Amino acid sequence: MDAISLIVRSIFVDNMIFAYFLGMCSFLAVSKNVKTALGLGVAVTFVLVLTLPINYMLENYVLKAGALQWLGKEYAEVDLSVFSLLIFIAVIASFVQLVEMVIERFSPSLYSSLGIFLPLIAVNCAILGGSLFMQQREFANVGMAAAYGFGSGIGWLLAIVGMAAIREKLEYSHVPKPLKGLGITFIITALMAIGFMSFSGINI
Amino acid sequence: MALSSKTKAVLWGPLNKNNPVIVQVLGICSALAVTSKLEPAIVMAIAVALVTAFANVIISLLRKSIPNRIRIIVQLVVVAALVTIVSEVLKAFAYDVNKQLSVFVGLIVTNCILMGRLEAFALGNGPWPSFLDGIGNGLGYGWVLVVVGFFRELLGSGTLLGYKVVPQALYDAGYENNGLMMLAPMAILLVACIIWVHRANNKELQEETN
């Protein structure tokens, strides 16, 4: 039950894009049509679901103060949390590389449609942000971390697909010249974010 | 020290025509999240400028010895090491600001400005131009942050850097702080306004399609 409410919360209330503005760069760059937006959204969700549990295990069994206790008494004092940033980003970058190679080997068609986005995911703030928030919130177990990753990924997917749909319709509207392209996209994002804030009062 | 015209372009370009935030759309994430007050915005701008400059220098020195296939991981490790240093320094000397910035110090690692500059500039240029390029882009990022932070703090809480600037008489006359300014969406709206003004003045940057 906890996991479900966590998922719903991270999709709507703590939406990665509209509440924290994470992963905005690719959100703005790749939201021109629905199809590619969907592809990137799925890839981000996939990487989030897989890297969050891995980083959770690393955080709790290697990095946190006293986390190395299972190695023996003399390690109980060791605090490696200074390195958390380095470890997290290394896990994410190597994982993205791994996913890229696996997809290339087993599904060339998916690879060619996702190809360019895969390396981009390594520097998507939403992924590293997920790991850093996970570190702050101290989830109870690996399952909760995975649920959080899944919810955040779906929230991101929802946002980018919605944005792409609006931008496709925008072709037909009359926008002031200096606002065309980037400017109007920012304004739409702001309005969507205000809309999503109506979820923030909901207590699940 | 005389700067040649090319170095000048490297340093000043990012402040205006090549601005990383409002023209190239890089590094938006952190630009929006840390600007509800002026002080964290300034700290963040300085941190990003320093990290970009030194990461540029390091990668530029290493550029001939990094194998092409693993360069992204090498770049990320260099950046992550620098960011860890910055974050420890902030924790030691500016703990309150560090608390306000929370995860966003760590997120400098994935700030697209860094990767963008490393890929586009440091891999093909020597250390000194790379350093200037890093500083220039850091400043270009910084002024947008400072402008957004200035308006959000002024209109949202009537203060600047924590000092009250809106006179009490105005409040007595019925003026109220605009709470909406403290909310995150207004940061995006302000950036949109900056883009609008900037592009109205630089016609060549305007886009044809949506």
- Can you tell me whether residue B15 is helix, strand or coil? helix
- Say how many CA atoms lie within 13 Å of B154 toward its Cβ: 7
Check if the beta carbon of residue B177 is closer than 8 Å to that of residue B155: yes
**Residue B133 within a domain:** yes
Nearest to B210 among A21, A128, A184 (CB): A184
Query: CA-CA distance, A13 to A150, in Å (whole number)?
Result: 14
The whole-number average pLDDT for the span B79-87 is 87
Tell me which of A14, A17, A18, A22 to substitute to probe the interface with B (most B C-beta atoms closer than 10 Å). A22
CB-based contacts of B85-93 (< 8 A; 24+ apart in sequence)? B86/B47, B86/B50, B86/B51, B87/A85, B88/A82, B90/B43, B90/B47
> Measured between CA atoms, how close is A181 to chain B, in angstroms?
4
Task: Label each residue of B25-66 as H, E or C.
Answer: CCCHHHHHHCCCCHHHHHHHHHHHHHHHHHHHHHHHHHCCCC
Strand partners, B163: B160
Query: CA-CA distance, A36 to A132, in Å (whole number)?
Result: 27
Locate the chain B residue with the closest alpha carbon to A16. B29
Other C-beta atoms lying within 10 Å of the C-beta of residue A77:
10
Query: CA-CA distance, A39 to B94, in Å (whole number)?
Result: 41
**Residue B161 within a domain:** yes
Cβ <8 Å between A85 and B106: yes
- pTM, two decimals, is 0.79
Name every chain A residue with its beta carbon within 8 A of the beta carbon of B111: 125
pLDDT digits (tens, 9 = 90+) for B47-67: 888 888 898 898 888 888 888
Nearest to A119 among B25, B27, B72 (CB): B72
> In which domain, by residue range, is B184 found?
20-209
Query: CA-CA distance, A34 to A45, in Å (whole number)?
Result: 16
Assembly ipTM = 0.76
Strand partners, B155: none
Torsion of CA A31, A33, A38, A44, to 10 degrees: -30
Name every chain B residue with its beta carbon within 8 A of the beta carbon of A83: 84
**Residue B134 within a domain:** yes
Q: Is residue B40 pLDDT above 70, yes or no? A: yes
**Residue B8 within a domain:** no
On average, the pLDDT of chain B sits at 80
Report the percent of chain B where pLDDT is more than 70: 96
What confidence score (pLDDT) does residue B21 get?
Answer: 76
Cβ <8 Å between B102 and A21: no
Name every chain A residue with its beta carbon within 8 A of the beta carbon of B22: 182
> Measured between CA atoms, how close is B196 to chain A, in angstroms?
5
Low-confidence ranges of chain A (pLDDT < 50): none
Cβ <8 Å between B192 and A181: no
**Residue B12 within a domain:** no
pLDDT digits (tens, 9 = 90+) for A132-151: 888 888 787 888 889 999 99
Terminal C-alpha separation, chain B: 45
Using N-to-C axis directions, what is the helix angle for B38-62 and B127-157, rounded to 10°?
Answer: 170
Query: CA-CA distance, B186 to B5, in Å (whole number)?
Result: 38
E strand or H helix at B172, and its extent?
helix B168-172
**Residue B5 within a domain:** no
**Residue B53 within a domain:** yes
Locate the chain B residue with the closest alpha carbon to A20. B33
Strand partners, A189: none
Name every chain A residue with its beta carbon within 8 A of the beta carbon of B144: none
Residue A60 DSSP one-character state: I
Strand partners, B159: B164
Nearest to B107 among A19, A119, A125 (CB): A125
State how far the alpha carbon of A188 is from the alpha carbons of A28, A45, A197, in Å: 11, 23, 14
- Say how many CA atoms lie within 13 Å of B210 toward its Cβ: 22
pLDDT digits (tens, 9 = 90+) for B112-169: 788 778 877 888 888 888 888 888 888 888 888 888 888 888 888 777 877 777 778 8
Q: Is residue B1 pLDDT above 50, yes or no? A: no
Cβ <8 Å between A190 and B185: yes
Of the two residues A65 and B45, the one the predictor is more confident about is B45
Locate the chain A residue with the closest alpha carbon to B183. A194
**Residue B10 within a domain:** no
Residue B164 DSSP one-character state: E
Name every chain A residue with its beta carbon within 8 A of the beta carbon of B195: 178-179, 182-183, 186
What confidence score (pLDDT) does residue A117 get?
Answer: 65
Q: How many domains does chain B have?
A: 1
pLDDT confidence band for B210 (50 / 70 / 90): low
Q: How many CB pairs under 8 A join A and B?
A: 146
> Measured between CA atoms, how close is A190 to chain B, in angstroms?
5
